[in-house]
Amino acid sequence: MPVYAAVRLGCRPCECEQLHEPVEGWVWVRCPDLGALLREVARSLASGFEPLVATPRGLLDPLEAEARLSELEDPVLDGVFEVLETGNPVALLELGAVSLEWKPGSHLARARFRGARAAALLERGFVPVVWP
């Protein structure tokens, strides 16, 4: 089953698909399985970089990834998140946002979500900012 995570690897992922251009070094990836994500982290460590992994629930210690697998298989947004957008931010309301703050001309929206699927947002070009 595919897994999704926001990662800061210090290099382009090999086995996982990068879902958008990096933002401050962070990028959401879709990996074929947990093993692929952990291998990306290991490659980053081997290169001397200290990789970071985040989900909507916050930073994830890769050693705890198996115990928190449901967070990676189906990351859900609950709470307020900034979202980078390239289209119409009002579409966030169709994707689970219950409120939205956005200024015309800005590519950053602030939305309150209840049970929104991160994968659905990413598929539509929205990038939930889940990293610190």
pLDDT tens profile 27-86: 999 999 999 999 999 999 999 999 999 999 999 999 999 999 999 999 999 999 999 987
Residues 64 and 110 in one domain: no
Q: Provide the whole-model pTM.
A: 0.93
State pLDDT tens for residues 118-128.
Answer: 999 999 999 99
Burial class (CB in 10 A: 0-12, 13-18, 19+), 71: buried
> By residue range, what is the domain housing residue 85?
76-129
CB 106 within 8 A of CB 65: no
Residues in CB range of 4: below 8 A, 6 or more apart = 28, 29, 30, 31, 72, 73, 75, 118, 119, 122
CB 125 within 8 A of CB 21: no
Structure-token pair, residue 95:
């994707």
Residues 9 and 62 in one domain: yes
Residues 46 and 102 in one domain: no
